[in-house]
């Protein structure tokens, strides 16, 4: 082989190696082994609402709902509603309604106490009130997430690990209900794109399936879990393609049914 051809080959191989290093692709095995955890892999309702607000400010106050009963006795149901209530807190922050934030903050503390979480949560309630009175909206967002994390961490230390994913699930259902309602009221392709969340629903579903048999056999948990497979399909839109208004309506109806069950299902324990 002529020497110059050898050099060309070496250069070509070198170039291929560099290209490979610059634009590597992860294998499906690597993707499957990636860490997935509650505190990083599950976005907060605040992130979802921030994305929804980009094309135009939605009517956040129009998404408020009436006060929830804070006297549920079923622990799984309390955890699901607690997640939904925290999402309501984020909505009130987006609407910049201090009184609504304070009311929701009070209910969050009541529900958290009903689950026997740490007394530290009381301090969070005071901070929420203080920030709401001073219109410190960014601080309120951080405080709501910190409150949610504190509730979850207290659940973990009290061997209530099963309830952690139920809080996340309740928050996701309520957040998606609100976002799909807002998109339906004022359809816009860019807003509708935030509803594409198949991997997130799949992750939550897998975690719900992984809870103890006692929790999984709870009628409400079972009922909600049974619907997650269908909801996952409803939020699986092709990459880059915005869901149609009919697609959005289907998602809204499905999560609306789940939310009804979470709120109103009679106690079973």
Contact residues for another protein (CB under 8 A)? 23-28, 30-31, 33-44, 46-48, 50-52, 54-55, 138, 141-142, 145-146, 149, 190, 193-200, 203, 239-240
Nearer to another protein, 220 or 235 (CB): 235
Distance CA 123, CA 42 (A): 25
Distance CA 224, CA 246 (A): 23
Nearer to another protein, 22 or 119 (CB): 22
Tokens representing residue 184 in the block: 């339906």
Nearer to another protein, 145 or 162 (CB): 145
Q: Please, what is the minimum distance in Å from the beta carbon of residue 202 to another protein?
A: 9
Q: Please, what is the minimum distance in Å from the beta carbon of residue 69 to another protein?
A: 28
Nearer to another protein, 51 or 184 (CB): 51
- Would you tell me how many other CB atoms lie within 10 Å of the CB of residue 58? 23
Distance CA 208, CA 71 (A): 24
Write 135-142 long-range contacts (CB < 8 A, 24+): 135/96, 135/98, 137/93, 137/96, 140/89, 140/93, 140/101, 141/46, 141/90, 141/93
Nearest to 262 by CA among 116, 78, 45: 78
Q: Please, what is the minimum distance in Å from the beta carbon of residue 237 to another protein?
A: 9
Q: Please, what is the minimum distance in Å from the beta carbon of residue 83 to another protein?
A: 15
Tokens representing residue 240 in the block: 């880059």
Nearer to another protein, 68 or 82 (CB): 82
Q: Please, what is the minimum distance in Å from the beta carbon of residue 142 to another protein?
A: 7
């Amino acid at each position: 082989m002529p020497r110059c051809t050898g050099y060309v080959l070496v250069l070509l191989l070198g170039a291929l190696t560099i290209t490979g290093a610059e634009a590597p692709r992860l294998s499906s095995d690597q993707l499957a082994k990636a860490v997935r955890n509650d505190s990083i892999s599950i976005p907060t309702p605040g992130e979802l609402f921030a994305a929804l607000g980009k094309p135009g400010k939605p009517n956040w106050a129009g998404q408020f709902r009436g006060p929830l009963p804070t006297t549920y006795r079923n622990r799984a149901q309390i955890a699901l509603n607690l997640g939904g209530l925290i999402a309501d807190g984020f909505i009130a922050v987006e609407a910049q309604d201090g009184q609504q934030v304070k009311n929701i903050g009070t209910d969050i503390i009541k529900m958290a106490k009903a689950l026997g979480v740490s007394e530290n949560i009381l301090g969070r309630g005071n901070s929420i009130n203080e920030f709401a009175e001073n219109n410190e909206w960014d601080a309120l967002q951080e405080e709501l997430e910190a409150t949610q994390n504190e509730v979850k961490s207290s659940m973990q230390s009290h061997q209530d690990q099963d309830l952690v994913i139920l809080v996340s699930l309740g928050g996701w259902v309520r957040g998606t209900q609100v976002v799909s309602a807002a998109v339906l009221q004022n359809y816009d392709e860019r807003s509708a794109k935030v509803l594409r969340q198949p991997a997130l629903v799949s992750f939550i579903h897998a975690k719900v399936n992984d809870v103890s048999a006692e929790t999984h056999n709870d009628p409400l948990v079972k009922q909600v879990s049974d619907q997650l497979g269908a909801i996952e399909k409803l939020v699986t839109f092709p990459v880059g393609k915005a869901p149609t208004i009919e697609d959005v309506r289907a998602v809204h109806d499905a999560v609306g049914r789940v939310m009804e069950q979470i709120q109103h299902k009679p106690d079973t324990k």
